[in-house]
Each structure stands twice: as C-alpha cells, then as structure tokens.
Amino acid sequence: MADKSDRHPDNVSGKFYVDNSCIGCNVCLEEAPENFDFDEYTDNAYVFKQPKNDDELKACNSALEACPVDAIGDDG
C-alpha cells in the first residue's frame, strides 16, 4: 500500500499519487501514459495529471492494480 506521507514531490494534487517506494518499472506509464510520467533524476514515477474522464480513471486504476510494489495510492 502506498504511503501518502512519502509521496514523490512532483505529484500533482488529487486522488492518485506515487510514493517513493517506486522502483521505476514504468508499468504505470504503460497503463496510463496520459497521467503518469517518470523522473529520471530520482528513478521514480509520479502523477503529472489527475484523470479527467472515465477512460483516464480506468487507466489510472489499472496502473494502481498493476504496480508490482504498490507504490500508487488512491486517496479517493
């Protein structure tokens, strides 16, 4: 389970976030490229845009489920 007190600083405010336990596997970028990006300096993904429609929401939920280390959180 993601730790919201350990959120990556580049996450935008909102429901979804990535914490610093991310291992940089890029699964979230494959599942939801409209919402996740990668910080090459920290080797950590982050949410750069919260979902704006049902397709993006489904993609973000799919990324959350697919994350191998549970680094994606959902505060919704």
Query: For the segment 12-67, what is each residue's pLDDT rounded down to a tens digit?
Result: 999 999 999 999 999 999 999 999 999 999 999 999 999 999 999 999 999 999 99
Q: Which of 52, 59, 74 is nearest to 7 (CA)?
A: 74
Which amino acid is it at 19? D
Domain ranges of the chain: 4-74
How much is the pLDDT for 29?
97
pLDDT at 1: 87
Q: Specify the pTM.
A: 0.94
Class of the CATH-defined domain 4-74: alpha beta
Nearest to 33 by CA among 8, 67, 59: 59
Tokens for 41, please give them.
């300096």
Q: What's the DSSP call for residue 12?
A: P
**With bands split at pLDDT 50, 70 and 90, how would you rate the model's confidence at 76?**
confident
User: How is residue 63 written in tokens?
Assistant: 């990324």
